[in-house]
Amino acid sequence: MSFKPGEYSFETLAIHAGQEPEATTGAVVVPIFQTSTYAQEGLGKPKLGYDYSRADNPTRAAYEECIAALENGKYGTAYSSGMGAINNCMYLLQSGDEVIVGDDVYGGTFRFFTKVIDGFGIKSKFIDTTDVAAVEAAFTPKTKMLWVETPTNPLLKLSDLKALAELARSKGAYMVVDNTFMSPYFQKPLDLGAHIVVHSATKYLGGHSDVIGGALVTNDSEIHERMKFCQKSVGAVPGPFDCWLTMRGLKTLAVRMREHERNAIRLAQWLEEHEQVERVIYPGLASHPHHELAKKQMSGFGGMVSFIVKGGLEQARSVLEGTKVFLLAESLGGVESLIEHPAIMTHASIPKERREEIGISDGLIRLSVGIEAFEDLQKDLDAALSSRVTCGC
């Protein structure tokens, strides 16, 4: 690694870490090594250690080195989706172990913990991780992992990573943080004590809504050995082109995040004053219950804004179907703005009673604020919010 965290700044690492000019031709951009296998120099003598692309591929290795550097980590592994990355972490556990999981997580993550790994004898407890005492009370001698999303998807609640990492470590449990919403540009969980950082690279890392991917980063060589072994053994690896696309996205991560945030702050402030809006949830607003923590543990507030519209589902539907620039779609983190309804879309796999219990109401709308011109985004939302549902009676 010649471009290391600590020696170079984030913007430089994003462009150079793992991406030195290619040895044979001097190509400035890492080539797409679209190959499944490698001719060996002799029996059991693969060139440079590459023997089969499920185990290792030079394009993937470059991307893994880059994402590790951006998280201030030593080791990265890449997967074919965020869920693939999440799944790989489970190979640190055994039947009989327990996991404490945040009570507001991506719907697919909730589904994975409740409908997939529970079948392998791993029990999950869903706890509000914003409450460190509640997390502490939930630990049992069987708890081997603490799983935290911060800010959460979609309610944007923040958990104190330093305090939780200290707690998990004192109990001998792994602390895993899904950093998808902030990206390493705004938040570095390993610096705050986490063992592993998880990403859906589909989102801000890739940044252009053209690739599905996942990544894990750690500083712990033993954890990395296990992750690497299971990555190869299970095989949920991304292809070389997907790695290349994500790495191209990483080069502009800093620039994009600054623009996402600039638009998000202005939109959140404007929405807060809008007469059709009941409540705006954005960590950058002074009204956010965890605003002080946001200022302390993140270097920015990100590009995700959630809000509750007055008038419940019917009015929400009219807003969601009324925008033109904001596209009605699942996912987030791309340059284009997206709007979605967590209860019907991204979090539909969470039972209704549970959704209501934690605050995912029918009036809740989530925005992934893109980097289009602010005025166009504002005009678009204003028009959709003003198109009142009229009574058919």
Which residues bind to ligand P1T, rule: CB under 6 A? Answer: 81-83, 106, 108-109, 149, 153, 178, 180, 200, 202, 212, 214, 330-332, 346
- Exactly one of 74, 188, 203, 366 is catalytic; name it: 203
CB-wise, 80 or 378, nearer to ligand P1T?
80
Q: What are residue 250's phi and psi, to 5 degrees?
A: -60, -35
Q: Is 106 a catalytic residue?
A: yes
Q: Please state, in angstroms and rounded to a whole number, the distance separating the CA atoms of residues 89 and 147.
A: 10
Cβ 180 to ligand P1T, closest distance in Å? 4
Strands 214-218 and 196-200: antiparallel
Q: Which helix (H) or strand (E) holds 114?
A: helix 107-115
Q: Is 203 a catalytic residue?
A: yes
The tokens describing 263, both together, are 């638009």
Q: Please state, in angstroms and rounded to a whole number, the distance separating the CA atoms of residues 104 and 123.
A: 17
Q: Other C-beta atoms within 10 Å of 39: how many?
A: 9
CA 187, 189, 192, 195: dihedral to nearest 10 degrees? -170
Return the residue matching tokens 């965020």: 82
- Exactly one of 106, 174, 185, 204 is catalytic; name it: 106
CB-wise, 101 or 384, nearer to ligand P1T?
101
Cβ 38 to ligand P1T, closest distance in Å? 28
CB-wise, 3 or 304, nearer to ligand P1T?
304
Q: Please state, in angstroms and rounded to a whole number, the distance separating the CA atoms of residues 125 and 144.
A: 12
- Exactly one of 178, 242, 362, 380 is catalytic; name it: 178
CB-wise, 87 or 276, nearer to ligand P1T?
87
Task: List the Cα angle 68/66/99 in 5-degree steps.
Answer: 30
CB-wise, 3 or 245, nearer to ligand P1T?
245
Cβ 269 to ligand P1T, closest distance in Å? 24
Which amino acid is present at 20? E
- Exactly one of 8, 54, 131, 232 is catalytic; name it: 54
Cβ 198 to ligand P1T, closest distance in Å? 7
Instruction: State the catalytic residues.
Output: 54, 106, 178, 203
